[in-house]
Amino acid sequence: PDFDEKAIEVLKYIIERSESVIVIAHAAIDMLKKQGIPYKKCVVIPHGCPSVDCTKGKSIKESLGLKGRLVASTFGLISSGKGIEYAIQALPEVIKKEPQIVYLIIGETHPEVRKHEGEKYRNELTRLVSELGLEENVRFTNRFITKRELIKYLQATDIYLTPYISPNQISSGTLTYALGAGKAVVSTPYYHAQEVLANDRGILCKFKDSTSIAEGINRLLDENFRGEMQKRAYKYSRQFLWKNVAKKYIKRIK
């Protein structure tokens, strides 16, 4: 929302020369209005996701060595903006109620981050896990995974976490994928999360607040409550399927 003067100039230049402007969340339309940018040619078309069968994932958990575990996960390119340390710090409070929880942190370090600071952030997370004695409750998958693997991990997930630290994030592909797989989500209230997790489709927690994250996860330990939230998320996310997103683009350019 706080563009500098040069960014506004570039954005106006692009929009003036564009037949149509796609934004991924309704919050972006409001931002354009506030910046005095013509928005009538803008349309919201959401971030897409693959079609994933909604499953309780028991057999998939077994294949991943997660039999009997309650699985929380975060996936994507890893950087400090993900706020993963706050999710890790939330675990001791959750473990008191659910000792079998395991938190999967899936994905390699962002290439640009690795270029400038190496594996500093991941090493800090690893040290935090060790300091808190969470070696049995946190697993890292330090590599880029295929779409097939990602879907498998999502199907094995019970609770998806996006503890991002920036309120200005307008879109999260990982959040869209999690909803598309019918997962219950605990997330900080960045722009995209506020929009897609409204109406009890997920739980919003405070920024940089491990206690708040723990409270959100603990609410989802109730299997019936979690199941109802998963159903709402799955039903809502059908509009995000790639085939439906593609149709919206085609309709817009005709």
71, containing H or E segment: strand 70-75
- Measured on CA atoms in the order 223, 91, 86, 112, is the torsion positive or negative? negative
What are residue 105's phi and psi, to 5 degrees?
A: -110, 105
Which pLDDT belongs to residue 241? 95
Among 3-12, 29-38, 229-238, name the one with the lowest average pLDDT.
29-38
Which pLDDT belongs to residue 30? 86
- Specify the DSSP class assigned to residue 140: E
Token pair of 108 as six digits = 């390699």
Per the model's pLDDT, the better-predicted residue between 54 and 112 turns out to be 112
CA-based Rg of the chain, rounded to a whole angstrom? 19
Question: In which band, very low, low, confident or very high, does the pLDDT at 56 lie, cut at 50, 70 and 90?
Answer: low
Is the pLDDT at 126 greater than 70? The verdict is yes
- Specify the DSSP class assigned to residue 63: H
Is the pLDDT at 21 greater than 80? The verdict is yes
Distances in whole angstroms, Cα of residue 33 to Cα of each of 26, 38, 52, 133, 148: 11, 7, 36, 49, 40
Region 216-242: mean pLDDT is 96
Token pair of 46 as six digits = 């959401």
- Name the residue type at position 12: K
- Specify the DSSP class assigned to residue 108: P
**134-174 residue pLDDT tens:** 999 999 999 888 988 999 999 999 999 999 999 999 999 99
Query: How many CA atoms, within 13 angstroms, populate the side-chain half-sphere of residue 75?
Result: 25
Of the candidates 208, 198, 218, 211, the one whose C-alpha atom is nearest the C-alpha of residue 90 is 211
Among 24-33, 102-111, 206-215, 230-239, name the one with the lowest average pLDDT.
24-33
Question: In which band, very low, low, confident or very high, does the pLDDT at 92 lie, cut at 50, 70 and 90?
Answer: very high
Query: Residue holding tokens 């409204």?
Result: 198
Among 52-56, 94-98, 139-143, 223-227, name the one with the lowest average pLDDT.
52-56
